[in-house]
Amino acid sequence: GAVVSQHPSRVICKSGTSVKIECRSLDFQATTMFWYRQFPKQSLMLMATSNEGSKATYEQGVEKDKFLINHASLTLSTLTVTSAHPEDSSFYICSASYAPYGTYSNQPQHFGDGTRLSIL
């Protein structure tokens, strides 16, 4: 159980293109979804947290207008990288958690398999 599907797994596109990444929880309702960015040989860096039906909370230094997050349902969140540039190339990973009572939760985050984004 607790499967999170992330799509696409790899994207290669030209500079200036906007790219949408989908994150779906397949067998549970994800009250909270998280978006991470990971550079080679580094650990995950949280970009933003999204709760279903609410605006995402972005971490310091992450541009809201650059990385648009939508969490319209309990099973789907999307990350759109707008006007992507080569420096946006990275491995983007989403995770989902069922935490109906807020942040006091020992429920694990279930991760997708990531999206490798390459901007030429």
Binding site for another protein (CB under 8 A): 4, 6, 41-46, 91, 93, 95, 103-106, 108-114, 116
Q: Return d(Cα 82, Cα 67) in angstroms, integer.
A: 6
Question: How near is the Cβ of 16 to another protein at its closest, in Å?
Answer: 26
3-state helix, strand, coil in the chain (%, to 5): 0, 50, 50
| Residue closer to another protein (CB basis): 112 or 119 | 112
| CA geometry: angle 106, 51, 80, nearest 5 deg | 120
Question: How near is the Cβ of 33 to another protein at its closest, in Å?
Answer: 13
Question: How near is the Cβ of 25 to another protein at its closest, in Å?
Answer: 13
